[in-house]
Protein backbone atom coordinates (compact mmCIF):
# COMPACT_ATOMS: atom_id res chain seq x y z
CA UNK A 1 0.00 0.00 0.00
CA UNK A 2 1.13 3.57 -0.67
CA UNK A 3 1.89 6.16 1.99
CA UNK A 4 -1.65 7.50 1.76
CA UNK A 5 -3.91 7.00 4.77
CA UNK A 6 -6.35 4.18 4.15
CA UNK A 7 -9.94 5.27 3.58
CA UNK A 8 -12.25 3.10 5.70
CA UNK A 9 -15.86 3.39 4.57
CA UNK A 10 -18.59 2.02 6.83
CA UNK A 11 -21.90 1.43 5.03
CA UNK A 12 -24.86 1.04 7.38
CA UNK A 13 -27.81 -0.85 5.93
CA UNK A 14 -25.29 -2.55 3.66
CA UNK A 15 -27.37 -5.69 3.03
CA UNK A 16 -30.24 -3.87 1.30
CA UNK A 17 -30.66 -3.07 -2.36
CA UNK A 18 -28.61 0.14 -2.32
CA UNK A 19 -25.92 -1.48 -0.17
CA UNK A 20 -25.57 -4.41 -2.58
CA UNK A 21 -25.39 -1.97 -5.50
CA UNK A 22 -22.62 0.05 -3.82
CA UNK A 23 -20.74 -3.19 -3.18
CA UNK A 24 -21.05 -4.07 -6.88
CA UNK A 25 -19.68 -0.68 -7.99
CA UNK A 26 -16.83 -0.81 -5.43
CA UNK A 27 -15.81 -4.29 -6.61
CA UNK A 28 -15.78 -3.11 -10.23
CA UNK A 29 -13.46 -0.23 -9.34
CA UNK A 30 -11.09 -1.67 -6.75
CA UNK A 31 -8.84 0.83 -4.99
CA UNK A 32 -5.99 -0.42 -2.80
CA UNK A 33 -6.24 2.57 -0.45
CA UNK A 34 -9.87 1.88 0.44
CA UNK A 35 -11.49 -0.58 2.82
CA UNK A 36 -15.26 -0.97 2.63
CA UNK A 37 -17.36 -2.49 5.43
CA UNK A 38 -21.00 -3.34 4.75
CA UNK A 39 -23.06 -3.65 7.93
CA UNK A 40 -26.42 -5.38 8.26
CA UNK A 41 -28.91 -5.35 11.11
CA UNK A 42 -27.32 -8.62 12.27
CA UNK A 43 -24.09 -6.74 13.07
CA UNK A 44 -25.70 -4.12 15.31
CA UNK A 45 -28.98 -2.53 16.31
CA UNK A 46 -28.16 1.09 15.49
CA UNK A 47 -31.12 2.34 17.52
CA UNK A 48 -29.11 1.27 20.59
CA UNK A 49 -26.24 3.63 21.42
CA UNK A 50 -23.97 0.98 22.96
CA UNK A 51 -24.21 -1.28 19.90
CA UNK A 52 -23.56 1.65 17.56
CA UNK A 53 -20.52 2.67 19.61
CA UNK A 54 -19.18 -0.91 19.51
CA UNK A 55 -19.32 -0.93 15.69
CA UNK A 56 -17.44 2.37 15.43
CA UNK A 57 -14.89 1.19 17.99
CA UNK A 58 -14.35 -2.04 16.04
CA UNK A 59 -13.97 -0.57 12.55
CA UNK A 60 -12.78 3.02 13.20
CA UNK A 61 -14.25 4.34 9.92
CA UNK A 62 -12.92 7.46 8.25
CA UNK A 63 -16.09 7.80 6.15
CA UNK A 64 -19.71 6.66 6.63
CA UNK A 65 -22.53 6.04 4.16
CA UNK A 66 -25.67 5.89 6.29
CA UNK A 67 -28.40 3.83 4.60
CA UNK A 68 -29.84 1.97 7.61
CA UNK A 69 -33.44 2.80 8.40
CA UNK A 70 -36.76 1.31 9.32
CA UNK A 71 -38.44 1.42 5.92
CA UNK A 72 -41.63 0.26 4.27
CA UNK A 73 -44.28 1.03 1.72
CA UNK A 74 -47.33 3.25 2.02
CA UNK A 75 -49.46 0.90 4.11
CA UNK A 76 -46.75 0.01 6.61
CA UNK A 77 -46.03 3.73 7.07
CA UNK A 78 -49.70 4.41 7.76
CA UNK A 79 -49.85 1.60 10.35
CA UNK A 80 -46.58 2.21 12.26
CA UNK A 81 -46.07 5.97 12.08
CA UNK A 82 -44.71 6.32 15.64
CA UNK A 83 -42.28 3.40 15.26
CA UNK A 84 -40.96 4.92 12.04
CA UNK A 85 -40.36 8.23 13.79
CA UNK A 86 -38.86 6.90 17.02
CA UNK A 87 -36.56 4.19 15.69
CA UNK A 88 -35.24 6.23 12.78
CA UNK A 89 -34.52 9.23 15.03
CA UNK A 90 -32.57 6.93 17.36
CA UNK A 91 -30.57 5.36 14.51
CA UNK A 92 -29.75 8.65 12.86
CA UNK A 93 -28.77 10.31 16.11
CA UNK A 94 -26.51 7.44 17.15
CA UNK A 95 -24.74 7.19 13.79
CA UNK A 96 -24.05 10.92 13.51
CA UNK A 97 -22.92 11.30 17.13
CA UNK A 98 -20.58 8.30 16.93
CA UNK A 99 -19.23 9.70 13.67
CA UNK A 100 -18.39 12.90 15.54
CA UNK A 101 -16.84 11.11 18.52
CA UNK A 102 -14.72 8.87 16.27
CA UNK A 103 -13.59 11.75 14.03
CA UNK A 104 -15.23 10.51 10.84
CA UNK A 105 -14.19 12.83 7.99
CA UNK A 106 -17.45 12.65 6.06
CA UNK A 107 -20.93 11.17 6.39
CA UNK A 108 -23.40 10.80 3.52
CA UNK A 109 -26.94 9.89 4.62
CA UNK A 110 -29.77 8.77 2.38
CA UNK A 111 -33.08 10.66 2.61
CA UNK A 112 -36.25 10.41 0.52
CA UNK A 113 -38.48 12.76 -1.45
CA UNK A 114 -41.27 12.02 1.06
CA UNK A 115 -39.55 14.55 3.37
CA UNK A 116 -40.86 17.41 1.23
CA UNK A 117 -44.04 19.31 2.17
CA UNK A 118 -47.37 17.83 1.14
CA UNK A 119 -48.76 21.21 0.05
CA UNK A 120 -46.11 22.62 -2.28
CA UNK A 121 -45.29 23.62 -5.82
CA UNK A 122 -43.48 21.46 -8.37
CA UNK A 123 -40.86 20.55 -9.24
CA UNK A 124 -39.36 20.02 -5.79
CA UNK A 125 -35.85 21.28 -5.18
CA UNK A 126 -33.35 21.18 -2.31
CA UNK A 127 -34.42 24.56 -0.87
CA UNK A 128 -38.02 23.45 -0.17
CA UNK A 129 -37.54 20.67 2.41
CA UNK A 130 -38.70 22.60 5.47
CA UNK A 131 -41.47 24.70 3.89
CA UNK A 132 -44.33 22.75 5.49
CA UNK A 133 -45.37 19.38 6.97
CA UNK A 134 -44.99 16.20 4.89
CA UNK A 135 -47.90 14.05 3.70
CA UNK A 136 -49.82 12.33 6.52
CA UNK A 137 -49.33 8.88 4.96
CA UNK A 138 -45.62 8.71 5.88
CA UNK A 139 -45.42 11.46 8.49
CA UNK A 140 -43.27 9.64 11.07
CA UNK A 141 -40.69 8.37 8.59
CA UNK A 142 -40.59 11.67 6.72
CA UNK A 143 -39.98 13.78 9.82
CA UNK A 144 -37.24 11.44 11.08
CA UNK A 145 -35.49 11.62 7.69
CA UNK A 146 -35.99 15.39 7.46
CA UNK A 147 -34.24 15.78 10.81
CA UNK A 148 -31.04 14.33 9.31
CA UNK A 149 -30.74 17.52 7.26
CA UNK A 150 -31.26 19.58 10.43
CA UNK A 151 -28.63 17.53 12.28
CA UNK A 152 -26.14 17.80 9.41
CA UNK A 153 -26.27 21.59 9.57
CA UNK A 154 -26.16 21.67 13.37
CA UNK A 155 -23.15 19.35 13.53
CA UNK A 156 -21.41 21.51 10.95
CA UNK A 157 -22.13 24.75 12.80
CA UNK A 158 -21.15 23.52 16.25
CA UNK A 159 -18.38 21.04 15.48
CA UNK A 160 -17.37 21.69 11.86
CA UNK A 161 -18.46 18.18 10.84
CA UNK A 162 -18.69 17.36 7.13
CA UNK A 163 -22.08 15.62 7.02
CA UNK A 164 -24.39 15.78 4.02
CA UNK A 165 -27.27 13.83 2.45
CA UNK A 166 -28.66 12.63 -0.86
CA UNK A 167 -32.38 12.64 -1.69
CA UNK A 168 -33.26 9.96 -4.25
CA UNK A 169 -36.69 9.53 -5.78
CA UNK A 170 -38.38 6.08 -5.86
CA UNK A 171 -35.83 3.27 -5.96
CA UNK A 172 -35.83 -0.25 -7.38
CA UNK A 173 -33.54 -3.08 -8.40
CA UNK A 174 -32.17 -6.46 -7.29
CA UNK A 175 -32.07 -7.24 -3.54
CA UNK A 176 -35.08 -4.99 -2.90
CA UNK A 177 -37.82 -5.91 -0.41
CA UNK A 178 -40.54 -7.58 -2.49
CA UNK A 179 -42.97 -8.02 0.43
CA UNK A 180 -46.55 -7.40 -0.66
CA UNK A 181 -47.59 -5.60 2.52
CA UNK A 182 -44.40 -3.78 3.54
CA UNK A 183 -42.46 -3.25 0.31
CA UNK A 184 -42.49 -0.25 -2.03
CA UNK A 185 -44.68 -0.04 -5.10
CA UNK A 186 -42.41 -1.49 -7.81
CA UNK A 187 -41.05 -4.55 -5.96
CA UNK A 188 -44.58 -5.19 -4.68
CA UNK A 189 -45.91 -5.18 -8.25
CA UNK A 190 -43.14 -7.54 -9.37
CA UNK A 191 -44.07 -10.05 -6.66
CA UNK A 192 -47.79 -9.71 -7.45
CA UNK A 193 -47.36 -10.33 -11.18
CA UNK A 194 -44.98 -13.26 -10.53
CA UNK A 195 -47.56 -14.87 -8.23
CA UNK A 196 -50.49 -14.16 -10.58
CA UNK A 197 -48.67 -15.67 -13.56
CA UNK A 198 -47.68 -18.73 -11.55
CA UNK A 199 -51.23 -19.27 -10.19
CA UNK A 200 -53.21 -18.14 -13.23
CA UNK A 201 -54.98 -15.41 -11.25
CA UNK A 202 -55.61 -11.68 -11.88
CA UNK A 203 -53.18 -9.00 -10.66
CA UNK A 204 -54.66 -6.51 -8.23
CA UNK A 205 -52.96 -3.09 -8.15
CA UNK A 206 -53.73 -1.02 -5.06
CA UNK A 207 -55.14 2.44 -5.80
CA UNK A 208 -56.26 4.12 -9.00
CA UNK A 209 -52.95 3.87 -10.85
CA UNK A 210 -52.99 7.64 -11.47
CA UNK A 211 -50.20 8.84 -9.10
CA UNK A 212 -46.94 9.92 -10.73
CA UNK A 213 -43.43 8.85 -9.70
CA UNK A 214 -39.80 9.09 -10.83
CA UNK A 215 -37.74 5.88 -10.53
CA UNK A 216 -33.99 5.44 -10.03
CA UNK A 217 -32.17 2.10 -10.32
CA UNK A 218 -30.10 1.02 -7.32
CA UNK A 219 -26.89 0.88 -9.39
CA UNK A 220 -27.37 4.47 -10.58
CA UNK A 221 -27.91 5.62 -7.01
CA UNK A 222 -24.84 3.66 -5.88
CA UNK A 223 -22.63 5.47 -8.41
CA UNK A 224 -24.04 8.83 -7.32
CA UNK A 225 -23.62 8.13 -3.60
CA UNK A 226 -19.96 7.19 -4.14
CA UNK A 227 -19.49 10.39 -6.16
CA UNK A 228 -21.16 12.35 -3.32
CA UNK A 229 -18.81 10.78 -0.78
CA UNK A 230 -15.71 11.60 -2.81
CA UNK A 231 -16.55 14.86 -4.59
CA UNK A 232 -19.61 16.70 -3.26
CA UNK A 233 -18.57 19.52 -0.91
CA UNK A 234 -21.87 20.97 0.30
CA UNK A 235 -23.61 20.33 3.63
CA UNK A 236 -26.96 21.03 1.96
CA UNK A 237 -28.42 17.86 0.39
CA UNK A 238 -28.64 17.01 -3.29
CA UNK A 239 -31.61 15.50 -5.14
CA UNK A 240 -30.73 12.43 -7.19
CA UNK A 241 -33.42 11.92 -9.79
CA UNK A 242 -34.17 11.20 -13.40
CA UNK A 243 -35.54 14.10 -15.46
CA UNK A 244 -39.02 15.47 -14.80
CA UNK A 245 -40.22 14.19 -18.19
CA UNK A 246 -39.27 10.64 -17.13
CA UNK A 247 -42.00 10.64 -14.47
CA UNK A 248 -44.57 7.87 -15.07
CA UNK A 249 -47.94 6.85 -13.61
CA UNK A 250 -48.34 3.78 -11.41
CA UNK A 251 -50.56 2.38 -14.20
CA UNK A 252 -47.72 2.77 -16.72
CA UNK A 253 -45.38 1.15 -14.21
CA UNK A 254 -47.72 -1.81 -13.76
CA UNK A 255 -47.96 -2.22 -17.53
CA UNK A 256 -44.15 -2.32 -17.80
CA UNK A 257 -43.97 -5.03 -15.13
CA UNK A 258 -46.71 -7.01 -16.87
CA UNK A 259 -44.79 -6.67 -20.14
CA UNK A 260 -41.51 -7.80 -18.54
CA UNK A 261 -43.22 -10.97 -17.26
CA UNK A 262 -45.15 -11.47 -20.52
CA UNK A 263 -48.23 -11.76 -18.31
CA UNK A 264 -51.47 -12.21 -20.27
CA UNK A 265 -53.97 -12.21 -17.39
CA UNK A 266 -56.35 -9.58 -16.02
CA UNK A 267 -55.12 -6.46 -14.19
CA UNK A 268 -57.54 -4.98 -11.62
CA UNK A 269 -57.21 -1.63 -9.83
CA UNK A 270 -58.53 -1.68 -6.25
CA UNK A 271 -59.65 1.93 -5.85
CA UNK A 272 -60.65 1.34 -2.21
CA UNK A 273 -56.91 1.45 -1.37
CA UNK A 274 -55.12 4.77 -0.78
CA UNK A 275 -53.05 6.33 -3.56
CA UNK A 276 -50.81 8.24 -1.15
CA UNK A 277 -49.38 11.48 -2.57
CA UNK A 278 -50.49 12.14 -6.13
CA UNK A 279 -47.07 13.38 -7.25
CA UNK A 280 -43.63 14.23 -5.86
CA UNK A 281 -42.01 15.59 -9.02
CA UNK A 282 -38.36 16.41 -8.28
CA UNK A 283 -35.91 18.64 -10.12
CA UNK A 284 -32.42 17.35 -10.89
CA UNK A 285 -31.07 20.77 -11.92
CA UNK A 286 -28.51 20.80 -9.11
CA UNK A 287 -27.25 17.32 -10.02
CA UNK A 288 -26.97 18.32 -13.68
CA UNK A 289 -24.77 21.28 -12.76
CA UNK A 290 -22.33 18.86 -11.16
CA UNK A 291 -22.75 15.87 -13.51
CA UNK A 292 -24.28 17.06 -16.78
CA UNK A 293 -23.42 13.83 -18.62
CA UNK A 294 -24.67 11.29 -16.07
CA UNK A 295 -26.96 8.72 -17.70
CA UNK A 296 -29.66 6.89 -15.76
CA UNK A 297 -30.79 3.35 -16.57
CA UNK A 298 -33.91 3.48 -18.80
CA UNK A 299 -36.91 2.36 -16.73
CA UNK A 300 -38.01 -0.47 -19.06
CA UNK A 301 -34.50 -1.92 -19.12
CA UNK A 302 -34.18 -1.63 -15.34
CA UNK A 303 -37.54 -3.29 -14.72
CA UNK A 304 -36.69 -6.19 -17.05
CA UNK A 305 -33.34 -6.71 -15.27
CA UNK A 306 -35.05 -6.61 -11.86
CA UNK A 307 -37.80 -9.01 -12.96
CA UNK A 308 -35.20 -11.44 -14.33
CA UNK A 309 -33.24 -11.22 -11.07
CA UNK A 310 -36.40 -11.84 -9.01
CA UNK A 311 -37.36 -14.91 -11.04
CA UNK A 312 -33.83 -16.33 -10.73
CA UNK A 313 -33.57 -15.57 -7.00
CA UNK A 314 -37.19 -16.09 -5.97
CA UNK A 315 -36.42 -18.54 -3.17
CA UNK A 316 -33.95 -16.24 -1.39
CA UNK A 317 -35.39 -12.79 -2.28
CA UNK A 318 -36.87 -10.75 0.57
CA UNK A 319 -40.63 -11.16 0.44
Catalytically active residues, by annotation: 141
Return the number of other C-beta atoms located less than 10 Å from residue 17's C-beta: 25
Return the number of other C-beta atoms located less than 10 Å from residue 281's C-beta: 18
3: DSSP letter: S
First-to-last C-alpha distance (Å) of the chain: 42
| Whole-angstrom distance, CA of residue 305 vs CA of residue 107 | 31
96: DSSP letter: H
Consecutive H or E run containing 217 = strand 215-217
| Whole-angstrom distance, CA of residue 68 vs CA of residue 299 | 25
| Whole-angstrom distance, CA of residue 260 vs CA of residue 14 | 28
Residues 6 or more apart whose CB falls under 8 angstroms from that of 16 comprise 67, 175, 176, 177
Strand partners, 318: 177
Residues 6 or more apart whose CB falls under 8 angstroms from that of 268 comprise 202, 203, 204, 205
Q: What burial letters (b/e) apply to 43-80, b meaning 16+ CB within 10 Å?
A: bbbbbeeeebbebbeebebbbbbbbbbbbbbbbbbbeb
Return the number of other C-beta atoms located less than 10 Å from residue 119's C-beta: 8
Amino acid sequence: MSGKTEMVVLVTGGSGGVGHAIQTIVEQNKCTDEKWIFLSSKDADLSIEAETRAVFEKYRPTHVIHLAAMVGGLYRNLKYSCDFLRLNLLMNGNVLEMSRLYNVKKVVSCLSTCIFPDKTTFPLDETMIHDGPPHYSNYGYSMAKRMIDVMNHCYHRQYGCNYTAVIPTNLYGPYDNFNLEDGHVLPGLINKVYTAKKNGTPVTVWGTGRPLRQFVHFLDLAKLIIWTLREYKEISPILLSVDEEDEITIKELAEMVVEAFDFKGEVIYDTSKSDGQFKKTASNDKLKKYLPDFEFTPIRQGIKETVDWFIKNYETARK
